[in-house]
């Protein structure tokens, strides 16, 4: 027993020293939800592991993602929504037939982050400027994905966000 415990501790320390990421997902019952532990893991890897464990579709359209360090238990849609406030995620959900009154994740999209300005760099009120064609296109594509994910009809060619 002591040898086995020592061996497990040795393996844990070796893994920690190597700097490798850790992702552990455990699905609980309808009340407890999902428990996720992620240490030094890329968000895309965490989403992939959650997709495998919870059975939802995953669409990775973003080329860069954040490092995730969490230990939390929540219902699946809320857990994914809280993973990284700096990444652009869309989560679609549906009623969970196994847990009345609860929702399950159907699909998650991770979209590109885009050009973001750190909050500390903003001193005064933002200065209005014209959007570039690339920015307008990105807004239209994001809106189209959002509308499709939420079962909404497609929007027009021009709308207030792209003017």
Residue 68 lies in a domain: yes
For the stretch 34-78, pLDDT in tens is 999 999 998 889 999 999 999 999 998 866 678 889 999 999 999
Residue 61 lies in a domain: yes
Residue 93 lies in a domain: yes
Residue 30 lies in a domain: yes
Residue-range definition of the domain harbouring residue 62: 19-115+133-153
Top-confidence residue, 146 or 65: 146
Question: What domain count does the chain have?
Answer: 1
Judged against a pLDDT cut of 90, whether residue 112 lies above it is answered with no
Judged against a pLDDT cut of 60, whether residue 105 lies above it is answered with yes
For the stretch 72-98, pLDDT in tens is 999 999 999 888 878 888 889 999 888
The mean pLDDT value for 94-123 works out to: 74
Residue 161 phi/psi, 5° resolution? -70, -25
Residue 123 lies in a domain: no
Judged against a pLDDT cut of 60, whether residue 4 lies above it is answered with no
Top-confidence residue, 65 or 121: 65
What's the pTM? 0.57
Burial class, 152, CB count within 10 angstroms (exposed 0-12 / middle 13-18 / buried 19+): exposed
């Amino acid at each position: 027993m002591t040898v086995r415990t020592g061996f497990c501790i040795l393996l844990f320390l070796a893994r920690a020293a190597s700097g490798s990421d850790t992702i552990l997902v455990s699905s609980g019952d309808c009340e407890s939800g999902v428990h996720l532990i992620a240490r030094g893991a890329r968000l895309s890897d965490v989403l992939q592991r959650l997709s495998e464990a919870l059975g939802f579709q995953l669409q990775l359209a973003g080329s860069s993602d954040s490092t995730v360090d969490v230990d939390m238990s929540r219902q699946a849609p809320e857990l994914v929504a809280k993973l990284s406030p700096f990444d652009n995620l869309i989560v679609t959900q549906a009623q969970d037939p196994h847990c009345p009154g609860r929702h399950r994740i159907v699909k998650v999209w991770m979209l590109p982050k885009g050009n973001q300005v750190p909050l500390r760099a903003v001193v005064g009120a933002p200065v209005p400027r014209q959007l570039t064609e690339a920015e307008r296109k990105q807004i239209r594509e994001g809106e189209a994905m959002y509308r499709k994910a939420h079962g909404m009809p497609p929007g027009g060619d021009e709308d207030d966000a792209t003017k």
